[in-house]
Amino acid sequence: MVFKNIPDDLHMAFVSTYVPRKCGIATFTHDLASAVSHHMKAPLGEADKIKIVALNDQIRYDYPEEVIFEIRDQYIIDYHEAANFLNMSPVDVVCLQHEFGIFGGDAGSNILTLLEHLKKPVITTFHTIIQKPSQIQLETVQNIARSSSFMVVPAKKGIELLQDIYGISPEKLIFIPHGTPDVPFLDPSYYKEKFQMEGRRVILTFGLLSPNKGIENMINALEPVAKEHPEVAYIVLGVTHPNVKRVHGEKYRLSLQRMIREKGLENHVFFHNAYVSLEDLKKYLVMSDIFVTPYLFQDQLSSGTLAYAVACGKVVVSTPYWYAQELLEDERGVLVPFGDIGQLSEQISDLLSNEEKRNNLRKNAYQFGRKMIWNEVGRQYFEIFYQALRDYAPRDMGAAVEVSSFSLPEVNLTHLRTLSDETGILQHAMLTTPNRCHGYSTDDNARALHTCVMNWKLFKEESILPLIQRYLSFLNYAFDEKQGRFRNLLTYDRRWIDEGVNEEDCHGRALHAMGYTIAYPPTDHILILANKMFNAALPICESFKSPRALAHVILGCRLYSQRFGGASDVRKMCEISSNHLKNLYSDNSSDDWAWCEDIVAYDNACIPEALIVAGDWLGNRELIDLGAKSLEWVLNIQTAKEGHLSIIGNEKWYKRDGGKSAFDQQPIEAAALVAACYDAYIITKDKKWLEEIRKSFHWFLGKNDHHEMLYDFTTGGCNDGLTSSGFNHNQGAESTLSWLISLQYMTELSREASILQRGNKSN
């Protein structure tokens, strides 16, 4: 399509990772924005017509001036704020660069929050399309499609996949090739002196290094090539992918270097461990005789490295991933089967011996690449932007998500860190200052571990890992291997003061926290230690009598089973513990007292929650019904006539034959209700639990008997409950952890609610 008289005052924003972040999509977006700005005669960074909304991982980047907003990829509130920002800005069109891994949430679903609230036309470029998507991947792409005026793919194969697998209307699908720099058709010898490669036949692979690149296959293939062509040199250009390096360090690169030494190829293989500028990259490309992409998997829809090589007129040898099949057809390159080292070696040797064949392939590639230079690609994108704006009709935004994520406070761990030292988290505080007089407890360190692993699950921020290690270390130290039990109280000078005391409740909480850690481990090392501790601590639970201890054992076992579903001893412990609870209800409950004891005390809701969870796991409807009935009763006796939560006070609690204490009300009860109602909603799908979750959560935010805000926005801590005269100004561990875990449940629920709403819209 070609439009005439396109207005020159079009304003646009790109939502993507962005330079200086070391990411292929960041580089693509910078180059595309530069190409569009060149077409508009509006220098990037100097004019206000082209702006960037940048996706951050755990690093803050020194962005150029065109970046006007930053989104922390795991924080769903940032996506909503970005939508509001763009809605109020002069931006006419938004161009989203999509790759599952750059957005937070399951399958990158956090980006849907931005799209749902954006009131501007959107053009989405898909850099990856999965041939066999999971359900959440399928739904995420379909929801992006509903919010997009057009969807751009850099390979025609993408149009086929989006139509056939994702059911996207062909009218929305546009093919625009991956852009490339405009490089003159130069002889490879032009830059060889610069790289000390005179007289060498150079093979090049460049890009961020990761195990899926198949470099080991190329090294294996090079061994016979080097014998036939001793002048050959293979350069691997690029730093290790940041995500790979963060988890595995330089393990892959070192394994390749060891392989080179073993094969005696030190004079033939060279690693240039650098993230080079575009100008230097072009020189590397021009200098190479053969460019190789020995990738391992078929479903790769684009490759900036391959596009650049073709545009520079390189002789390309590649495995037949989708993009390579398309780009190298019609004798523009050579394809070899995946993993076929013999073929790879033969083809490279043949090309090094056949200059005429190399020259024909080079010319074919270069001529084709002229269609892909950035100026042409920028023009095509600009025309799509204009058509999207011309045809745009604002969508019906629909009803708000039932549990609104953007109304939630941000998760603030400042006070948690203040309360923690190298040993663990201290129990109490004098106002906001840690109180060392009371030392530490296993109860609180277990809660802290649970809270921080949940934070990792939600936000994937590596700064939380030292805290997880600290609290896990505390639990490991608290465990008495001879007795098979956890000790609870540790003084500030690290002396246990409850040796030999039967602390069932703290043992159950520790098991629950380790179960959560095993279900959602940040690292394999943490998983291994938590698993060891869990199994060592499990046997003694069979003798437990405390209903709260039994409940936490059940919840920990259920979480454990999410990772190790075949663990029969864990399932058996759940059966034993749930039978104990069921018997306690049989012995103590009546028509007007749906409880397992003659007193309702603290952390009550974990008990009916455990029955619901056990019933769901064991396929026992009776347990689910009993748990739901008891949870409703606990909520009813703690709901004021005005409708807000009115927690049982700890002065005398609530005795069967006595009155209910009004104060002091403790945050742990509100947190237990949030968690219990969350599990009840997830398991039963009954929306009545959503209102109970909100009611329990808003107790922290002033919907309580004193209309007092318990959460302190300035510190990130939570006051230690309601007294008869107001709130307790101390901000101890139990209260702060109760707030944080409640807020994180609400954050998780907001994501669930958003996904559910999107599913309803698509039906």
* Structural domain boundaries in the chain: 12-179+376-391, 188-372, 414-762
The whole-number average pLDDT for the span 314-337 is: 95
Q: What is the pLDDT of residues 141-185, one digit of tens each?
A: 999 999 999 999 999 999 999 999 999 999 999 999 999 999 999
Task: Annotate 638-659 with b (16+ C-beta within 10 A) or e (fewer).
Answer: beeeeebbbbbbbeeebeeeee
C-beta of residue 320 within 8 angstroms of C-beta of residue 298:
yes
Q: What is the pLDDT of residues 88-113, one digit of tens each?
A: 999 999 999 999 989 988 889 999 99
Please indicate whether the domains covering 12-179+376-391 and 414-762 agree at the CATH topology level: no
Task: Give the pLDDT confidence score for residue 757 in this predicted structure.
Answer: 53
Structure tokens at 682: 């997830």
In 267-353, which residue ranges form alpha helices assigned H by DSSP?
278-287, 304-311, 322-327, 341-353
DSSP 35: H
Minimal CA–CA distance to 155: which of 299, 29, 281?
299
Distance (Å, whole) CA 181 – CA 27: 12
Task: Give the pLDDT confidence score for residue 405 in this predicted structure.
Answer: 42
Task: Give the pLDDT confidence score for residue 397 in this predicted structure.
Answer: 40
Under the banding of pLDDT at 50, 70 and 90, the label for residue 763 is very low
Distance from the Cα of residue 118 to its chain's centroid: 22
- Alpha-carbon distances of 309 from 281, 317, 366, rounded to whole Å: 10, 11, 9
Distance (Å, whole) CA 709 – CA 722: 10
Structure tokens at 66: 């065109």
Phi, psi of 291 (to 5 degrees): -110, 135
Task: Supply the mean pLDDT for the chain.
Answer: 91
Minimal CA–CA distance to 718: which of 408, 420, 423, 429?
429
Question: In a 10 Å sphere around its CB, with 0-12 CB exposed, 13-18 middle and 19+ buried, how is residue 60 labelled?
Answer: exposed
- pLDDT for residue 398 is more than 50: no
Q: Which helix (H) or strand (E) holds 478?
A: helix 465-478
C-beta of residue 459 within 8 angstroms of C-beta of residue 75:
yes
Task: Give the pLDDT confidence score for residue 42 in this predicted structure.
Answer: 81
Minimal CA–CA distance to 456: which of 523, 529, 405?
523
Report strand pairing: 334-335 vs 315-318. Answer: parallel
Non-local CB neighbours of 170 within 8 Å, separated by 6+ positions: 159, 163
Is 188 or 556 the better-scoring residue by pLDDT?
Answer: 556
Let me know if domain 12-179+376-391 sits in CATH 3.40.50.2000.
yes
User: Which of the residue ranges 190-194, 565-569, 578-582, 693-697 would you say has the lowest mean pLDDT?
Assistant: 190-194
C-beta of residue 74 within 8 angstroms of C-beta of residue 113:
no
Whether the predicted model's global pTM rises above the 0.85 cut: no
- pLDDT for residue 490 is more than 50: yes
C-beta of residue 670 within 8 angstroms of C-beta of residue 742:
yes
Under the banding of pLDDT at 50, 70 and 90, the label for residue 6 is low
Task: Give the pLDDT confidence score for residue 399 in this predicted structure.
Answer: 34
Minimal CA–CA distance to 666: which of 586, 721, 629, 624?
721
Cα three-residue angle 595-599-600, rounded to 5 degrees: 70
The whole-number average pLDDT for the span 573-580 is: 97
- pLDDT for residue 402 is more than 80: no
The whole-number average pLDDT for the span 625-639 is: 97
Distance (Å, whole) CA 642 – CA 646: 10
C-beta of residue 125 within 8 angstroms of C-beta of residue 175:
no
Task: Give the pLDDT confidence score for residue 276 in this predicted structure.
Answer: 84
The whole-number average pLDDT for the span 636-664 is: 93
Task: Give the pLDDT confidence score for residue 580 in this predicted structure.
Answer: 96
Question: In a 10 Å sphere around its CB, with 0-12 CB exposed, 13-18 middle and 19+ buried, how is residue 20 labelled?
Answer: middle
Task: Give the pLDDT confidence score for residue 22 in this predicted structure.
Answer: 87
Q: What is the pLDDT of residues 242-288, one digit of tens each?
A: 878 878 889 999 999 999 999 999 999 999 998 888 888 889 999 99
Report DSSP letters for 557-591, one per residue.
HHHHHHH-TT-HHHHHHHHHHHHHHHHHHHHH-BT
C-beta of residue 77 within 8 angstroms of C-beta of residue 40:
no
C-beta of residue 117 within 8 angstroms of C-beta of residue 397:
yes
Task: Give the pLDDT confidence score for residue 43 in this predicted structure.
Answer: 83
C-beta of residue 744 within 8 angstroms of C-beta of residue 734:
no
The whole-number average pLDDT for the span 617-643 is: 96
C-beta of residue 531 within 8 angstroms of C-beta of residue 522:
no
Assess whether the previous peptide bond of 667 is cis (omega < 30° from 0). no
Task: Give the pLDDT confidence score for residue 28 in this predicted structure.
Answer: 94
Under the banding of pLDDT at 50, 70 and 90, the label for residue 394 is low
Phi, psi of 698 (to 5 degrees): -70, -10
Phi, psi of 451 (to 5 degrees): -60, -45
- pLDDT for residue 689 is more than 60: yes
- Alpha-carbon distances of 330 from 156, 303, 548, rounded to whole Å: 15, 19, 71
Minimal CA–CA distance to 292: which of 321, 265, 326, 330?
321
- pLDDT for residue 400 is more than 50: no
Non-local CB neighbours of 552 within 8 Å, separated by 6+ positions: 505, 508, 509, 511, 512, 606, 610
Distance from the Cα of residue 33 to its chain's centroid: 27
The class that CATH gives domain 414-762 is: mainly alpha
Distance (Å, whole) CA 231 – CA 222: 12
CATH code: domain 188-372 is 3.40.50.2000
User: Which of the residue ranges 14-18, 355-359, 657-661 would you say has the lowest mean pLDDT?
Assistant: 657-661
Task: Give the pLDDT confidence score for residue 390 in this predicted structure.
Answer: 87
Q: With pLDDT > 70 as the criterion, what percentage of the chain qualifies?
A: 95
Strands (DSSP E) found in 207-283: 232-237, 269-272
Q: What is the pLDDT of residues 510-530, one digit of tens each?
A: 999 999 999 999 999 999 999
- Alpha-carbon distances of 750 from 2, 138, 744, rounded to whole Å: 43, 20, 10
Q: With pLDDT > 90 as the criterion, what percentage of the chain qualifies?
A: 79
Q: What is the pLDDT of residues 343-393, one digit of tens each?
A: 999 999 999 999 999 999 999 999 999 999 999 999 999 999 989 998 886
Non-local CB neighbours of 267 within 8 Å, separated by 6+ positions: none
C-beta of residue 172 within 8 angstroms of C-beta of residue 151:
yes
User: Which of the residue ranges 190-199, 240-249, 317-326, 403-412 would you say has the lowest mean pLDDT?
Assistant: 403-412
Report DSSP letters for 92-110, one per residue.
-EEEEEE-GGGS-SGGGTT
Minimal CA–CA distance to 210: which of 262, 235, 247, 180?
247
Distance (Å, whole) CA 29 – CA 8: 21
User: Which of the residue ranges 21-25, 264-268, 340-344, 624-628 would you say has the lowest mean pLDDT?
Assistant: 21-25
